[in-house]
Amino acid sequence: AAGERGPGGIALVGPASGAPSCPHGPALLFVKTSQGKEEGRRFYACSACRDRKDCNFFQWEDEKVSETRLAAREEYNRNHRPTFTHRQNVERYKNFVLLPLSKRRFCQECQQLLLPAEWEKHSNHQFLCDISTAQLKSPSQFLYPLENKKTNAQYLFADRSCQFLLNLLIDLGFRRVLSVGTPRLHEMIQSKASQEEDFRVRSLLLDIDFRYSQFYTEDEFCHYNMFNHYFFGGEAARETCRKFLYEENGERVIMVTDPPFGGLVEALASSFKKLMAMWTETGKEGQGNKEMPMFWIFPYFFESRILDFFPSFRMMDYQVDYDNHALYKHGKTGRRQSPVRIFTNLTPSMIVLPVEEGYRFCTLCQRYVSSGNQHCEICNSCTSKDGRQWKHCVLCKKCVKPSWFHCNNCDCCALPNHSCEKTDSGCFVCGKAGHKRGACPSLS
């Protein structure tokens, strides 16, 4: 979402009723703050795009917008709607699968399945030919990922992580998965359901990428913006989601979400709470104040932000990795390991992590931890966040990364080469001149 643009100069106020809309749905309200002043001017900006180049929507809250400009905006929003509606895409798909293999084409430039009558119109474009049924069942494999980090950040689960998540959900007894921005997981569930007769898990994909409407029916996919909780398909799509969340015949529901990491945590949390409320409303008597079970997949350094909004959540040690991300790969060491984790409101001891990948159960913490995560007796917890063994700092009264040292000038642990608030040329550890960190007497 439209994150902090500049040093603390912008804060999210939140979704506002009567907010103007851009092609990504209702805009979010932000406030511009300048140093020394209580609060600055409020403005609306696109909920989904942080980069003005992707969506340049901007309007001051107190601005009077002329009729002409409103009409131009309406026109602009209309022109940015997809070529076909979801229903038309479903019809097109039915016709497409009836074609012989040699006539099944996909336009790579328009990212669209083509019927023979449309070939001429796309004649200068690059095609993928002979689209097999297997390919149609795995659209994320041939749709190119929208890798703009700030808007879509479509990094797709590697098979290892996807398979692990699905097995875990089945073992935990969930039969319905609300897949919010997780097309690979949805795809794997759909594919297994069509191949295995006794496979009972169902999935509904909510995603801002409308290209998926070409492959899934209106009961399998809703065009959705997770930054402003906006269903592009209106009340009908909202009803599809509500129906899916209604637990009948004991089919328990869990929500799994993998948002863009550049997104504003508070905007996401606001939408997720609305989805949880939708689940609560559809619930039977006796559901009480229980929260909808959820897996929020996000980097570990957002832990405190997520816990601010969802105090019942805990972070698991499992490293989630991605196919098309150069850094977020499993099995690398040190700084190169994937920082992406699962945050969940389920009881941590229920989340069994694969022992063959080096995870072990800590009986004191009552949860699975990575092999390098040693239990600290002073903190009484397995404290590592990044898979390496952390060390306890007596002065900070907590465990810190192994590469950090306590800086007496800053009175906290930091990297040796950090720009110290009171830098001098003395020892990094004790601040005195005449020796370097390695020979510091206070280290003994």
Question: What's the mean pLDDT in 380-402?
Answer: 87
pLDDT for res 421? 64
- Condensed to tens digits (0 to 9), the pLDDT of residues 283-333 reads 765 555 689 999 999 999 999 999 999 999 999 999 998 876 555 555 544
Question: Tokens 């103007």 sit at which residue?
Answer: 20
Domain boundaries, the chain: 9-80, 86-131, 159-365, 372-443
Answer for the pair 168, 344: CB distance below 8 angstroms, yes or no. Answer: no
- Condensed to tens digits (0 to 9), the pLDDT of residues 108-118 reads 999 999 999 99
Round to whole Å and give the CA distance between 369 and 357: 11
How many angstroms separate the first and last alpha carbons of the chain? Answer: 48
Backbone angles phi, psi at 104, to 5 degrees: -95, 110
Query: Predicted confidence band at 385 (pLDDT cuts at 50, 70, 90)?
Result: confident
Task: Identify the burial level of 205 via C-beta atoms within 10 angstroms of its C-beta, where 0-12 means exposed, 13-18 middle and 19 or more buried.
Answer: buried
Answer for the pair 225, 272: CB distance below 8 angstroms, yes or no. Answer: no
- What pTM does this model have? 0.86
What architecture does CATH give domain 159-365? 3-Layer(aba) Sandwich (3.40)
Q: Which residues pair with 42 in a beta bridge?
A: 31
Q: What share of the chain is helix, strand, coil (3-state, %, to 5)?
A: 30, 20, 50
- Condensed to tens digits (0 to 9), the pLDDT of residues 183-218 reads 999 999 999 998 888 899 999 999 999 999 999 999
- How many other CB atoms are found less than 10 A from the CB of residue 86? 21
Round to whole Å and give the CA distance between 408 and 411: 5
DSSP 8-state symbol, 411: T
Question: Tokens 């403005």 sit at which residue?
Answer: 43
Round to whole Å and give the CA distance between 289 and 287: 6
Round to whole Å and give the CA distance between 45 and 217: 32
Round to whole Å and give the CA distance between 5 and 3: 6
Structure tokens at 244: 């899916």
In degrees, rounded to 5, the angle at the alpha carbon of residue 340 between the alpha carbons of residues 271 and 148 is: 65
User: 3-state DSSP call for residue 88?
Assistant: helix
